[in-house]
Amino acid sequence: MATKREPGRDRVLLLVEDNLHNRQIFARVLTHFGFVVCEATNGAEALEVAREKKPDLILMDLSLPVMDGWEATRRIKDDPQLSSIPIVALTAHAMADDERRAAEAGCDHYLAKPISPKKVVAEVARILGDLEEPE
């Protein structure tokens, strides 16, 4: 029988979000649940931070300055050292075609904003498989 592990324990997330308010809210809640949160405000920064920190998961806004989230996702997925990192599109792009475009860029999962921060935590924990077998 599997038991839930504490969400976030020993997990590093990269939160890529250019909106300061959204970034602060998501980072605060994720940190509260035990995640170590690294931040980037554009796609170019996301690439740099991903290469440096090798996060367990990336939450990627798609509408970003400098380099958009679609391009940043493609570049991360093209990098053999980063390609296995799950990328979750966390975006206000909520048209039917946007989820397909995100998947084509390499996003493994898709969450449309607005979304409650606690729902993001639950989805991140689910994606990371935060269940462990008892000893």
Residue 6 confidence class, pLDDT cut points 50, 70, 90: low
Sketch the domain layout of the chain as residue ranges.
9-127
As given in the structure block, the two tokens for residue 93 are: 């792009």
Percent residues over pLDDT 90 in the chain = 73
State the CATH class of domain 9-127.
Answer: alpha beta
Rounded CA gap, 69 and 92, in Å?
12
pLDDT reading at 1 higher than 50: no
Angle between the N-to-C axes of helices 117-127 and 20-32, in degrees from 0 to 180, rounded to the nearest 10: 60
- pLDDT above 70 covers a percentage of the chain that reads 89
Asked if pLDDT for residue 7 goes beyond 90, the answer is no
Tokens representing residue 68 in the block: 């958009």
What pairs with residue 102 in β-bridges? none
pLDDT tens column, 41-84: 999 999 999 999 999 999 999 999 999 999 999 999 999 999 99
CA 45, CA 61: separation in Å to the nearest integer? 13
Q: Are 75 and 44 in contact (CB under 8 A)?
A: no
The edge-to-edge listing of strands for the beta sheet with 109-112 is 36-40, 12-16, 57-60, 87-91, 109-112
Q: What is the pLDDT of residues 112-129, one digit of tens each?
A: 988 999 899 999 999 998
The pTM (predicted TM-score) of the whole model is 0.89
What's the mean pLDDT when you consider all of the chain?
A: 88
- In this prediction, residue 10 carries a pLDDT of 74
DSSP 6: P
DSSP code, position 17: -
> Pseudo-torsion of CA 125, 86, 108, 3, nearest 10°?
-30
Q: Give dist(CA 119, CA 116) in Å, integer.
A: 5
42 φ, ψ (degrees, to nearest 5): -155, 170
From the DSSP assignment, how many helices (H) and strands (E) are in the chain? 5, 7
Kindly state the average pLDDT of the residues 124-135: 66
